[in-house]
Amino acid sequence: MRITRDLLGLKLAKMWSLRGTCARRQVGCVLFDDVGYQIGAGFNGPASGLPHCIDTPCRGANHAPGTGLELCEAIHAEANALLRCPDVREIFTAYVTHSPCIHCVKLLMNTACVRIVFEEKYAHDEEARKMWLKSDPRRSWEHEILQ
């Protein structure tokens, strides 16, 4: 049986997350256009030239989810995916392993993206969801479980 586009997107995001080098969690993001093709992907980790947190933990590595973010050196998966997307006006859906933080929601709001689909809720899920949904009535915030 053919898998759904959403299941494909979440599985690809999960695969990308395996490249993540943040000691707190591995996050992956895949951006699809409106016909279901991948146009960007990324994982979380420090900027080029900095040591990987899984090898040399940054000052934010041992903080609880959603805290100590100013100490974390990782660039989020969503930001990395956007940096690798040739045209943010083509984004329709962002598939992410974890619901985006408020900062990543703001980045995605400045694209054509109308759907965010994720598997796990992040610490600030409710605040990020409210911001995403109030910005455009066409937008959706979808919590899906990988099968």
Enter the pTM of the model. Answer: 0.94
Residue 85 has what pLDDT? 98
Domain enclosing residue 101, as ranges: 5-143
Pairing of strands 28-32, 93-98: antiparallel
Q: What pLDDT is stored for residue 137 in this prediction?
A: 93
Q: Residue 46 pairs with which residues in a beta bridge?
A: 74
Label residue 7 by pLDDT band (50, 70, 90): very high
How much is the pLDDT for 69?
83
Calculate the alpha carbon distances from 105 to 52, 55, 116, 147 in Å. Answer: 25, 29, 9, 26
CATH code of residue 19 = 3.40.140.10
Per-residue model confidence as pLDDT tens digits over 61-80? 888 877 888 898 999 999 99
Question: Among candidates 42, 135, 40, which has minimal Cα distance to 80?
Answer: 42
| Segment 20-34 mean pLDDT | 96
Residue that has been written with the tokens 């053919």 in this structure: 2
The pLDDT tens digits of the residues spanning 67-119 come to 888 898 999 999 999 999 999 999 999 999 999 999 999 999 999 999 999 99
- Average pLDDT of the segment spanning 15-31: 96
The total number of structural domains that make up the chain: 1
DSSP states of 20-67: ---SS---EEEEE-TTS-EEEEEE-EEPTTSPPTTTS--TTTTSPTTS
